[in-house]
Amino acid sequence: MRWKLKPDPVKEKVDKLAEDLQVNRTIAQILCQRGIETFEDAKNYFRPSLDEIHDPFLMKDMHLAVARIEAAIANNENILVFGDYDVDGTTAVSLVSSYLKTICPHIATYIPDRYAEGYGVSYMGIDFAHDNDFSLIIALDCGIKAIEKVDYAKEKKIDFIICDHHKPGDEIPKAVAVLNAKREDCSYPFDELCGCGVGFKLIQALGTSRNQTIEYFLPYLDLVATAIAADIVPMNGENRVLAYYGLRVINDNPRNGIRAIMNQAKRSELTITDVVFTIAPRINAAGRMKHGNYAVELLTEMDLDSAIEFAAAIEIFNADRKDLDKKITDQALIQIIDNKEEQNYSSVVYQEDWHKGVIGIVASRLIEKYYRPTLVFTKSGDKLAASARSVKGFDVYNALHECEEFIEQFGGHKYAAGLTLLPENYENFKKKFEEVVEKTIDKKLLTPEISVDAEIELFEITPKFFRIIQQMAPFGPMNMKPTFKSTCVRDNGYGKQVGADKTHLKLNVFQGDNKRTFNSIGFGLGDKMKLVKNDFDIVYALDENEWNGNKNIQLLLKDLR
């Protein structure tokens, strides 16, 4: 891995902040690196305020969306809340539908079938709305490119409100309202909301005429925080405030569905990282292995016993998902080796019987092995469907744009996208994608980079230091957990490889004459045991390890040399 130390901020600013906050220079340095340079900045950062949540009517088309929903309620129209089958989509549908049910009885939800309909707004969904007398569809976490489908709905006298956060194309669908802060003509102050976040702005706007303040909407933020964590959107600005208060709801008074998942996973208090690895995969597993409706039913269930039953069923889906993604990853790795593609600039693999629900996870697993832009294809009806994942610094969405002559449909973000193409175009697409990546990627991006906040001595790690680092949470893109470098450390001689296949590294490290040792764990670093005989350097984050009721600061090793 490449270790890249962040540049030092202006010394005078660091010194002044350290003095104003009564913290050491390392803490002040990390804050300044994140744009927190004054006492006031720090106060807003460490104590996020609900006052920082923006007026929803600053978003283009919000007045139109609210007016159309109010008209539907007044006219007793049926409203269909439509969303994607992933965590962001299912939480958004759960959030908007559960709020609308408090003000209107004629609400139903619709999650497209991953296999029969695919991603986003579907003709089947519109036909369902038409057959069941729905005159308004609210599409969440999808729809920004559904030009023809919105036109098709209009022919059937069905209106659309689109709430999306994906990159718009050149043309915006002719819906009643299109809520998307990434629209070039939208001046909303924060354009990195997730789909569920846009849904939250919609219900917040609907609450305005009902004299419902932001406090009224706090119970919905467990869903928003879950979506923010799962969709890996930037953890700054409005997202950070929503996630901060959402985590409080998750830990203090979560909805029954989330409480049931926490019971199932035997977890009590969760961090945002726990949400990513505990709550999100289980919600996702429903859409991957069975149907996204299961997730919506779980997240909107009012009876705890029923929620516990749903969570138990979803736990089985999640176990099945784990087995499948391991099996498919193994097959994909063999394919790369057999085709002698280990030295390529991209990984593109295909097998027609791979489960469509796990190909995104498999793409991420392949990046762990071969660090490069990756696409995993499977058969979907008469087409091939793929999930794309990228490496830090490379825009896979733009790369796909360069290959669109071979693509039927694609959409997504800089680091994750989905696409479909005709089987006869697969080989040409694969060749072109490899050419595009080879031509455009900065070759150093093919080696993973660790961004290091500060180089410190181990003696700086005190309980107070650790406590302040913890208070910088919730962590995520644009506010990552601080990473430190320490040089010339030693193991006390009890270091060993651990785990069933010895893939992890457990050390007790100390530095210089200070014999205070730190428990250290390096997941996936078992093969580096040979480096710990003498002095070595480490890059790590700080973590808390609890054993037999005792809590200790632990170093979470990321790399050593």
Total domains in the chain come to 3
**Domain membership flag for residue 114:** yes
Last residue of a domain, one of 405, 423, 446: 446
Give 446-490 pLDDT, tens digit per residue: 999 999 999 999 999 999 999 999 999 999 999 999 999 999 999
Identify whether residues 343 and 298 lie together within a single domain.
no
Residue 290 pLDDT greater than 80, yes or no? no
- Token pair recorded at residue 182: 């990434």
**Domain membership flag for residue 324:** no
Identify whether residues 209 and 135 lie together within a single domain.
yes
For residue 385, the tally of other CB atoms under 10 A from its CB is 23
In angstroms, what CA-CA distances link 316 with 114, 268, 288, 289, 323?
19, 21, 12, 10, 11
Smallest Cα–Cα separation from 96: which of 80, 117, 118, 112?
80
Mean pLDDT of 93-120: 92
Cβ proximity of 194 and 88 under 8 Å: yes
CATH number for the domain including 282?
3.90.1640.30
- Those residues whose C-beta lies under 8 Å from the C-beta of residue 205, and which sit 6 or more positions away, are 56, 57, 62, 65, 66
Identify whether residues 419 and 459 lie together within a single domain.
no
Percent of the chain with pLDDT over 70: 100
| pLDDT value at residue 346 | 97
* Distance (Å, whole) CA 255 – CA 125: 28
Last residue of a domain, one of 279, 313, 347: 313
| pLDDT value at residue 213 | 95
More confident residue, 533 or 76: 76
* Distance (Å, whole) CA 149 – CA 157: 12
Cβ proximity of 470 and 499 under 8 Å: no
Cβ proximity of 22 and 39 under 8 Å: no
Identify whether residues 355 and 281 lie together within a single domain.
no
Last residue of a domain, one of 313, 329, 354: 313
CATH number for the domain including 467?
2.40.50.460
Identify whether residues 344 and 248 lie together within a single domain.
no
| pLDDT value at residue 267 | 85
Quickly state the pLDDT bin for 513 (edges 50, 70, 90). Answer: confident
Residue 310 pLDDT greater than 80, yes or no? yes
More confident residue, 102 or 264: 102
Identify whether residues 442 and 462 lie together within a single domain.
no
**Domain membership flag for residue 323:** no
Identify whether residues 494 and 473 lie together within a single domain.
yes
Identify whether residues 420 and 471 lie together within a single domain.
no
**Domain membership flag for residue 47:** no
Residue 289 pLDDT greater than 90, yes or no? no
Q: Where are the alpha helices (DSSP H) in 441-534?
A: 463-470
Residue 115 pLDDT greater than 80, yes or no? no
- Token pair recorded at residue 356: 């469509």
Identify whether residues 350 and 434 lie together within a single domain.
yes
Identify whether residues 235 and 275 lie together within a single domain.
yes
User: Hunting for tokens 């690895």 — which residue is that?
Assistant: 277
* Distance (Å, whole) CA 452 – CA 541: 10
Provide the β-strand partners of residue 399: none
Residue 428: domain span = 339-446
What number of CA atoms fall less than 13 Å from residue 348's CA on the CB side?
A: 21
* Distance (Å, whole) CA 211 – CA 396: 44
Identify whether residues 137 and 168 lie together within a single domain.
yes
| pLDDT value at residue 538 | 97
**Domain membership flag for residue 23:** no
**Domain membership flag for residue 13:** no
Give 377-433 pLDDT, tens digit per residue: 999 989 999 999 999 999 999 999 999 999 998 888 888 899 999 999 999 999 999
Give 29-70 pLDDT, tens digit per residue: 999 999 999 999 999 999 999 999 999 999 999 999 999 999
| pLDDT value at residue 533 | 84
Strands 409-412 and 383-389: what pairing? Answer: unpaired
Identify whether residues 83 and 159 lie together within a single domain.
yes
Strands 383-389 and 416-421: what pairing? Answer: antiparallel
Give 194-253 pLDDT, tens digit per residue: 999 999 999 999 999 999 999 999 999 999 999 999 988 999 999 999 999 999 999 999
| pLDDT value at residue 501 | 87
